[in-house]
Amino acid sequence: MTITITHLDGPLKGETQTYGDNVDAVVFGRDRETAQVVYPPEYDVVGRRHFELRRTKAGDYSVELFGTRYVEMDGKPADNGTPVKSGSTFRLGRKVGPTFKVEIGAPSVEGLPVTADQSQMTTSSQRLGRKVATGGGLLAVLLIGLFGYFTYLHSTLADQIELRGPKPPSAHPRNFRRRR
């Protein structure tokens, strides 16, 4: 990704610097040997090696501080590892320190092959919906089966009782005599 630094205030005001994909870190400071963004040697608001914008493995940029030098990003003090968003404004040193804006371009896709067709991923909510629908369907089938079973049992017993008719009286009355 390209990174463009537009100086808004300070000794570099009005200048724009752009760094390509081949630069892993952009160092800000007064030391001409180590910094890419070089401030005048007498401008002591900025340290010799003040801080750097380091490209992460994912291609984004983050803040890396050198010591206790003050770096402000979008009005708040920056910490090591703070991710940098395109359009962020930085101030170095005190309130009279230089300010600049950072624009991060899209990654270069030159030379990359076109992505092959891939199957669609399902989200967890879609998978959950399918599981709930399947469970609901199985529950409905179970309830219908139980209803049918109990209806069959009830009708079968009622039919059997109806077919038998009333119980006939005993043809031989029993005598309960004692035997001797």
Which residues make Cβ contacts (< 8 Å) with residue 43, sequence separation at least 6? 10, 11, 30, 98
Instruction: Tell me phi and psi for residue 58, to 5 degrees.
Output: -80, -10
- Nearest Cα to 100, choosing from 21, 57, 36? 36
> pLDDT digit of tens for each residue in the chain (180 aa)?
789 999 999 999 999 999 988 899 999 999 999 999 999 999 999 999 999 999 988 888 999 999 889 999 999 999 999 999 999 999 998 788 999 999 998 766 666 787 888 878 889 999 999 999 999 999 999 999 999 998 888 777 767 777 776 666 665 566 666 666
List beta partners, residue 64. 52
Give the pLDDT of residue 166.
Answer: 67
